[in-house]
């Protein structure tokens, strides 16, 4: 099965990555390339919408963890929203969920990201 990827620039260098399909050996490179396009020094956060992902392989998990680590190096945030039960089960089994912020939907993730950006601006005195 293929993977459809839609990247939406929200505000303040926050991106929503909406996925539909399977993240597997046939599609992981496509996802990795899209993420490389948006992860840079200006990026504040990436939120991955997993609501329409029906399958993820170990190589797909590797891409997700790579993105998380790259964003962490940049002091940026990474979150996933709306994991399907079978996807959540895979992340649970691999003990990955405690390392990733998971939200039920985009408004909940937006509220969290907005708060983080507000705190960062206040800390910098801007």
Domain-by-domain residue ranges, the chain? 3-124
Six-digit token pair at 90? 């895979």
C-alpha distances in Å from residue 98, one per residue of 25, 33, 109: 25, 26, 16
Beta strands 77-81 and 45-56 are parallel
The predicted pLDDT at position 51 comes to 93
Torsion angle of C-alpha atoms 18, 104, 57, 4, degrees rounded to 10: -20
**What pLDDT was estimated at residue 112?**
77
What pLDDT score was predicted for residue 85? 87
Q: pLDDT of the chain along its 126 residues, tens only?
A: 589 999 999 888 899 999 999 999 999 999 999 999 999 999 999 999 999 999 999 899 999 999 999 999 999 999 999 888 888 888 777 766 555 677 777 788 878 777 777 776 677 665
In terms of DSSP bridges, do strands 3-9 and 14-23 run parallel, antiparallel, or are they unpaired? antiparallel
Where does 3-124 sit in CATH, by number?
3.30.750.24
Q: The pTM is what?
A: 0.83
SS3 39: coil
Q: Sheet containing 101-103: which strands, arranged edge to edge?
A: 3-9, 14-23, 45-56, 77-81, 101-103
């Amino acid at each position: 099965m293929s993977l459809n990827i839609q990247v939406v620039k929200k505000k303040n260098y926050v991106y929503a990555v909406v996925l539909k399909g399977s993240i597997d050996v046939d599609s992981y490179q496509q996802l990795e390339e899209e993420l490389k396009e948006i992860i840079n020094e200006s990026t504040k956060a990436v939120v991955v919408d997993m609501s329409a992902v029906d399958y993820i392989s170990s190589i797909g998990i590797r891409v997700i963890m790579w993105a998380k680590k790259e964003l962490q190096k940049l002091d940026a945030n990474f979150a996933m929203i709306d994991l399907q039960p079978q996807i959540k089960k895979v992340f649970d089994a691999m003990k990955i969920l405690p390392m990733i912020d998971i939200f039920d939907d985009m408004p909940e993730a937006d509220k969290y990201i907005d708060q983080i950006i507000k705190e960062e601006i206040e800390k910098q005195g801007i």
